[in-house]
Amino acid sequence: MAPAAGAAPYEERALFVRKATGLVRGWSVRDAFIYSAISINFVTLGLYAFSFANFIPKGSLFWAAVLSGAYLVFQAITYASLIAAMPRAGGDYVWISRTLGGGIGFVLAACGWWFILWHWVPIYANILNIMVLGPLSAIVGWDHGVHFWGRSAGLFTSSMIVAVMASVLVGLGIRAYARFQKWCFYGGVIGLLVMAILLLAHSKGGFISAFNAQSHDVYHTTGDAYAATAKAGAGSYASFASFHFGEIILLIPFLFFFNLWSNWGATLYGEVRGASDFRKNIYAMGGALLATTAVAAIFLGLFAKTFGWNWYQASNAAYWAGTGPLGVFPYPGTLVSFFTGSSALQFIIVGLLSLWFFGWVGTVFLSSTRVVFATAFDRVLPEIAAKVSSRGVPYVALSLMLIPSIPISYFYAYNTKFNSWTFDATLVIAITFLGSAISAAILPWRRPDIYNASPIAKYRVAGVPLITAAATLFTAILVYAIVKWFQDSIYGVNFRNSEYYMAVLYGVAIAIYVGSRIYRRTQGMDLKMVYGEIPSE
Partner 1 sequence: MRIFFATDVHGSETCWRKFLNSGQHYDADAIILGGDMTGKALVPVIHDRDDAWHATLLENRESLVGEEAVAAFEDAVIRRGYYPFRTTPEEVRELHENEAKWHALFSEHMLGTVERWMEIADEKLAGTGIACYVCPGNDDQLEVDDVISKAKHVNLAEGRIVELDGYQMASSGWSNPTPWETYREEDEPQLAERIGAVVGQITAPPERTIFSLHCPPYASNLDDAPQLTAEMDLKEAGRATVPVGSKAVREAIEAFQPALGLHGHIHEARGSARIGNTLCINPGSSYEQGMLLGAVVELDGKKKVKRFMLTSG
Q: Give CA–CA dist 408/115, Å, rounded.
A: 10
Of 4, 7, 8, 20, the one binding partner 1 by CB under 8 A: 20
Of 51, 93, 98, 474, the one binding partner 1 by CB under 8 A: 98
Does 521 sit near partner 1 (CB under 8 A)? no
Least distance in Å: CB of 194 to partner 1? 27
| Cβ burial, residue 406 (10 Å; 0-12/13-18/19+) | middle
C-alpha closest to that of 37 among 141, 192, 155 = 192
Check if the beta carbon of residue 252 is closer than 8 Å to that of residue 477: yes
Q: Which of residues 391-410 bind partner 1 (CB under 8 A)?
A: 392
Q: Give CA–CA dist 510/530, Å, rounded.
A: 17
The dihedral over CA atoms of 281, 283, 285, 288, expressed in degrees to the nearest 10, equals: -150
Does 529 sit near partner 1 (CB under 8 A)? yes
End-to-end CA distance of the chain: 48
Least distance in Å: CB of 469 to partner 1? 18
> Looking at this protein, which amino acid is placed at residue 472?
T
Least distance in Å: CB of 439 to partner 1? 14
Least distance in Å: CB of 453 to partner 1? 5
Does 515 sit near partner 1 (CB under 8 A)? no
Q: Report how far apart, in Å, the C-alpha atoms of 186 and of each of 128, 190, 258, 268, 353 are.
A: 19, 6, 20, 22, 10
Does 2 sit near partner 1 (CB under 8 A)? no
Choose between 32 and 146: whose C-beta lies nearer to partner 1: 32
> Looking at this protein, which amino acid is placed at residue 35?
Y
Q: Give CA–CA dist 379/159, Å, rounded.
A: 31
Query: What SS3 state is found at 465?
Result: strand
Q: Give CA–CA dist 24/9, Å, rounded.
A: 25
Choose between 483 and 525: whose C-beta lies nearer to partner 1: 525
CA 61 to chain centre: 19
Least distance in Å: CB of 181 to partner 1? 9
Least distance in Å: CB of 20 to partner 1? 4
Least distance in Å: CB of 179 to partner 1? 7
Does 383 sit near partner 1 (CB under 8 A)? yes
Residues counted in the chain: 537
Least distance in Å: CB of 7 to partner 1? 12
Choose between 14 and 489: whose C-beta lies nearer to partner 1: 14
Check if the beta carbon of residue 326 is closer than 8 Å to that of residue 130: no
Of 100, 241, 388, 406, the one binding partner 1 by CB under 8 A: 388
Q: Give CA–CA dist 69/291, Å, rounded.
A: 9
Q: Which of residues 174-203 bind partner 1 (CB under 8 A)?
A: 174-175, 178-179, 182
Q: Which residues pair with 460 in a beta bridge?
A: 465
Does 518 sit near partner 1 (CB under 8 A)? no
Q: Which of residues 491-510 bind partner 1 (CB under 8 A)?
A: none
Least distance in Å: CB of 72 to partner 1? 20
Choose between 193 and 453: whose C-beta lies nearer to partner 1: 453
Does 168 sit near partner 1 (CB under 8 A)? no
Phi/psi for 142 (5° steps) reads -90, 80
Phi/psi for 460 (5° steps) reads -135, 150
Of 4, 5, 25, 462, the one binding partner 1 by CB under 8 A: 25
Choose between 216 and 458: whose C-beta lies nearer to partner 1: 458
The window from 164-172, 285-293, 382-390, 489-497 that contacts partner 1 (CB under 8 A) reads 382-390
Choose between 55 and 459: whose C-beta lies nearer to partner 1: 459
Q: Which of residues 441-480 bind partner 1 (CB under 8 A)?
A: 449-450, 452-455, 458
Does 99 sit near partner 1 (CB under 8 A)? no
> Looking at this protein, which amino acid is placed at residue 361?
V
Question: Where is 460: in which H helix or E strand?
Answer: strand 460-461
Least distance in Å: CB of 183 to partner 1? 12
Of 4, 8, 9, 16, the one binding partner 1 by CB under 8 A: 16
Q: Report how far apart, in Å, the C-alpha atoms of 503 and of each of 410, 451, 500 are.
A: 21, 34, 5
Of 23, 344, 461, 464, the one binding partner 1 by CB under 8 A: 23
Check if the beta carbon of residue 206 is closer than 8 Å to that of residue 339: yes
Check if the beta carbon of residue 98 is closer than 8 Å to that of residue 532: no
Question: Where is 464: in which H helix or E strand?
Answer: strand 464-465
DSSP state string for 362-411:
THHHHHHHHHHHHHHHTTSS-GGGG---TT---HHHHHHHHHHHHHHHHH
The window from 188-196, 244-252, 378-386, 498-506 that contacts partner 1 (CB under 8 A) reads 378-386
Q: Which of residues 134-163 bind partner 1 (CB under 8 A)?
A: none
Does 377 sit near partner 1 (CB under 8 A)? yes
Q: Which of residues 249-308 bind partner 1 (CB under 8 A)?
A: 266-268, 271-276, 284
Q: Which of residues 38-77 bind partner 1 (CB under 8 A)?
A: none
Does 341 sit near partner 1 (CB under 8 A)? no
The window from 225-233, 339-347, 436-444, 524-532 that contacts partner 1 (CB under 8 A) reads 524-532
Least distance in Å: CB of 374 to partner 1? 9
Least distance in Å: CB of 14 to partner 1? 3
Choose between 141 and 173: whose C-beta lies nearer to partner 1: 173
| Cβ burial, residue 526 (10 Å; 0-12/13-18/19+) | exposed
> How many Cα atoms within 13 Å fall on the side-chain side of residue 479?
9
Choose between 2 and 534: whose C-beta lies nearer to partner 1: 534
Choose between 283 and 299: whose C-beta lies nearer to partner 1: 283
Q: Give CA–CA dist 390/249, Å, rounded.
A: 51
Of 10, 144, 236, 246, the one binding partner 1 by CB under 8 A: 10
